[in-house]
Structure 1
Amino acid sequence: MSEVRLKKGKEKAVRQLHPWIFSGAVEQIKGKPQNGEIVEVKDHSGAFLARGFFNDQSRVAVRLLEWNEDVMIDESWWRMRVRRAVSARKDLLASAETNTCRLIFSEADFLPGLIVDRYADYLSVQILTSGIEKVKDIIVSELVSLLKVKGVFDRSDASARAHDGMEASFGTLYGEQPPEFVEVVENGLKYHINIAEGQKSGFFCDQRENRRIVAGYAQDKKVLDCFSYSGGFTLNALKSGASEVVSVDSSALAIETLKQNIELNGFGTKKHVAVQSDVNKYLRTLKEEQQKFDVIVLDPPKYAPSRSSLDKASRAYKDLNRMAMGLLNSGGLLATFSCSGAVDISHFKQILAWAALDAGREIQYIYQFCQPEDHPVRSSFPEGEYLKGLFCRIV
C-alpha cells in the first residue's frame, strides 16, 4: 500500500478525525498511488494516522475513511458503511407520510463524495470523488440488496467531479430507467420528481421539516414563495389553508413541474399563481405595484460556493432580503435561507440586520432553521453544516 507522509505539525486535524488532508500538508508520497487508490497516512515521524483514498488532481489530496490501523478497507468495509447509513434512516424509511429522503450524505456518513437520495422506488446517486467511483459497483449492489428498488440512476454530472479529474457520468446504474416523472410523497403531499433533469439529484429533501414549520403559520395568509422550484413551500402552505400563494422561479421546467404538483394534490388554481421570472426582477415589480404579503419564503441557490465569493454573496443576500422585507405587512413573517457553507449563521444574521436597516424595518428572529436528520453533521466535520435559515417577524 502506498504511503502519504505529512509535514511536521500537520497531523493535528487527522488525529481530531477531520476527513480531509489538503495537498499542502503532504511532505512525501511513497509509491505511485493511482487516483482513488487507498493509501496509508503517517505523521512526520512515520507513525500511522489513518487510511483514505488519494487524488493528485484535487486540493484535498486524501479523503480519510478509517483511523483504526487494524481495520482494512475492503469490500466488506464499504458494504458496512452503506448499511450503517441506511440503518440510520430506518425511521424515515418506515414513514407513511414521506417516501423521499437522503440515504447517504457524503462525509457525514463516512463516505466522502457519495450522495444517495431515495425517491419512492428509485435511487438517485451522485459520485463526486475518484475513490467512490472505484467502488461504485459495490455500493450500488449493497443499496439494491437493502432497499429492493426498481432502479438506480447516476446524476454525477456535477462540476465537482472535475476537481477530482473526472468527467461527468449520467445514466442508469441498475434496473429500470426512471420515468420522466416519479411520484413521491413528503409530509403527506404528492410531488412529481424529474430525477434525470431536475436540479441537483432531483429534489431538495433537506427542506422537509422547514416546509412543515413555515406552513404552520400560513393559514389565511397571503404567501410569496421565491425560488419555488417544484413547490415544496407552496404546497405545504396551501395544505395549511393559505388564502393565496404566489410562486416564483426562473426555470420553465420548475414552473411546469410545480403546476403539475398543484394539480396532483387537487388544490386547483384559485388560490395559486405561478410566475416564471428572475426573482430579483419580480420583487422590484411587486414593489412598483405596491403589493404586500403576510409570509415570504426566500430559498435561493448557493450564492457563496467558496469563501473567496463571500463578499459578493453577502451583498446579494442583503439586497434580496431587503427587497422582501419591503413587501411584508407589519408583523409579517420572512423565512429566509442560505445553502452556502461559507456563510455561517452569525454572518447570516448580520446580513439580515444590514438588510433591515436599509429597508427601514426592524426584525425579530423567532426561529432558526437547520438541516433535517437525514443530513447529519459530524462533529469532526463542521463543513457539512451548509443549510441554515431564520424565521423573522418584520415590525
Structure 2
Amino acid sequence: MKKITVRTKAAKKLRAGYPLLVAEDLNSPFLEDDFAQFFDEKGQALGTGYLSKQNKGVGWLLDSSSVKIDHHFYVEKFVNARALRANFYQDELTNAFRLFNGEGDGLGGLTIDFYNGFAVFSWYNQFIYSQKKAIVKAFQVVFPDIKGAYEKLRFSEAALESQHIFGQEAAEPLLVMENGVTYATYLNEGLMTGIFLDQKNVRGALAGGLSTGKTLLNMFSYTGAFSVAAAFGGSSQTTSVDLAKRSLDKTREQFLVNGIEPESQKIYVMDVFGYFNYAKKKELTYDMIVLDPPSFARNGKKTFSVAKNYGDLVKEAVEILENNGTLIASTNAANVSDKKFRQMIEEALKNKGVKFTVFQEEKLPADFHIADSFPEGNYLKVLFIKIKK
C-alpha cells in the first residue's frame, strides 16, 4: 500500500473525518490509482483510503486507522448500511430506495440503489471499479435476497455506461412503488433509470395531498415523475415540459401504469423558456410550478446553468403563477450552496416585487445517509415557496 503525505490543512480535515481528497491536498504529484495510507508532514498516520480521479476530487479516506481494505471491510460497511435502512424494508408503500450512499456509508465512489428486488451499482472512478469483484462478493453476502443487479459506470474512462452483472434480469419496464405511486423504470437504459430516487420526499408531498385540486406545471419534467405524483395526489391537471423527445412516451407510460389516462394531462416537448413565452401568450396560469433543472444544459447556442441562470427561471415562473400559488424550487447542483441557492431565489422574487414565504424545505431523504463530517454530501436543495402577488 502506497504511503502518501498530505499538506497541513488537508491533515486537519482528515483528522476531523472529512473523507474527500483533492489534488491540492497532496504533497507529491498525483500517483496512479491505488490504495494508500495517508500521513501528515510530521509522519503521523491519518488513515487508509485510495487515490483515483473522479468528477469531485482525487481520492477518499475510508478509515482513520491502518485497516486493511478487504472482504471483511466491505462486509462490515454493507452490514452497517443495511441496518441503517431497516425501516425502508418494512415500508409497504415504497420498494425503491438507496441501499448504500458512498462516503455517507464509508466508501466514497460507490452508490447502490434498490429497485423492487434488484440492485443498481454506480461506480464513480476507475479504481473503485477495479475492486468490483471483491465488493460485489461482499454485497451478496449481506444482501442474499437481491434477485439481480446492474451497474452504471459514471467515470470518463469507462467503455460502457450500463450492463447487467449478476442474477436475474429485470422486467422492462420494472415497476417500482414509492409512497404508493407506481413508476416504470428501466435498469439497463444508459445512466438513467427513469426516476431520481433522491426526490422521494418532494414526490411524497405531492402525492400526499399538497397538489389536491390544483393545477401543476412541471418544468424539465424528464419522465414526468412529479406530475404523476401530483395527479395521484388529486391535482386537477398537470402539465409536463421537457426538451427531450423521449419525455413524451416516458411520461405517458408513467401515467398509464398508475391507471391515469395520459390524454387527461398535458405533455409538451419543447424548450422550457419557450414554454414560458407560450404560456404568457395564451394567458395560462398555474397553482403550482416545479422547477428542477439539470445543473447544466445546452440547447443549440443557448446554455443554462443553475449557478448563473436559476434566478431567470424563477422570474419567468412568477409571471404565470396564480396569486397565492406555490413554487417548488429544486436543484441537485453540488457547486451551489444552500445559502447561494436561497439568495438567488429571494433576489429574483424581490426583483418581481412579490411577497413570499418558504413553508417547507427538503434535503436528501434518510436512505441517502450523509456523513456528519461531509455536509456537502447533502447536495439536494428544495424550497416550497408560497407567493403572494
TM-score when scaled to structure 2?
0.91
CA contact (8 A) 2:227 2:238 kept: yes
* Matching of residue 196 in structure 1 with residue 188 in structure 2: yes
Conservation of the 8 A alpha-carbon contact between 2:71 and 2:135: no
The aligned runs of 1:12-161 (5 Å cut-off) are: 12-28=12-28, 34-35=32-33, 37-55=34-52, 60-69=57-66, 71-145=67-141, 146-156=143-153, 158=154, 161=155
- Partner of 2:243 in structure 1? 250
- Listed one character per residue, the Cα deviations across residues 219-246 of structure 1 (whole Å, up to 9, x for unaligned) are 1111111122222221221122111111
Cα distance between partner residues in 1 of 2:32 and 2:247: 41
Residues of 1 paired with 2:291 and 2:229: CA distance? 15
RMSD: 2.3
SS in structure 2 at match of 1:341: coil
1:218–1:241 contact (8 Å) kept in structure 2: yes
* Residue 4 (structure 1) aligns with: 4
Is 1:230 the counterpart of 2:223 in the alignment? yes
Aligned to 2:203: 211
Change (3 A) 1:167 1:107: farther
- 1:378 is matched with 371
Question: Aligned to 1:363, which of 348, 356, 360?
Answer: 356
Aligned partners of 2:152 and 2:190 also within 8 Å: no
Q: How many residues get paired?
A: 380
Determine if the alignment matches structure 1 residue 182 to structure 2 residue 174.
yes
Shift of 1:130: 3.0
Deviations 1:312-352 (A, max 9, x none): 53331011111111111110111110111121222112111
1:220 is matched with: 213
Deviation of 1:153 after TM superposition, in Å, equals: 0.9
1:265-291: CA deviations, max 9, x gaps?
112245411111222211221111111
Q: CA deviation at 1:186?
A: 0.9
8 Å CA contact 1:75, 1:138 repeated in 2: yes
Q: Residues 388 and 10 (structure 1 numbering): CA distance in 2 closer, same or farther, change over 3 Å?
A: closer
Q: Which residue of structure 2 lines up, in the alignment, with residue 308 of structure 1?
A: none
SS at match of 2:210: coil
How far residue 9 of structure 1 moved from its aligned partner, in angstroms, is: 4.7
**Shift in CA distance, 235/147, structure 1 to aligned 2, threshold 3 Å:** farther
Write the distance in 1 (CA, Å) between the matches of 2:117 and 2:370: 27
Per the TM alignment, residue 202 of structure 1 is displaced from its structure 2 partner at its CA by: 4.3
2: CA distance between counterparts of 1:335 and 1:322? 13
Is the contact made by 2:21 and 2:60 (CA closer than 8 Å) also made in structure 1? Answer: yes
Question: Does 1:294 pair with 2:287?
Answer: yes
Q: Which residue of the partner structure matches residue 307 of structure 1?
A: none
Cα distance in 1 between the residues matched to 2:225 and 2:100: 22
1:38 is paired with a residue whose SS is: strand
Amino acid at match of 2:81: A
Give the direction of change, closer, same or farther, for the CA distance of 1:230–1:198 in structure 2 (3 Å limit): farther
1:172 aligns with 2:164: yes
Tell me the CA shift for residue 187 of structure 1. Answer: 0.9
Gaps of 5+ in 1: 305-310
> Contact between 1:246 and 1:274, CA under 8 Å: does it hold in 2?
yes
Whether contact under 8 Å (2:161, 2:191) holds in the other structure is: no
8 A Cα contact 2:101 2:370, kept in partner: no
Quote the Cα distance in structure 1 between the aligned partners of 2:54 and 2:175.
Answer: 39
**In 2, Cα distance between the equivalents of 1:350 and 1:8?**
33
Shift of 1:141: 2.5
Partner of 2:300: none
- How many Å separate the matches in 2 of 1:57 and 1:336? 28
Calculate the TM-score normalised by the size of structure 1. 0.89
Report the identity percentage: 27
Structure 1 residue identity aligned to 2:167: G
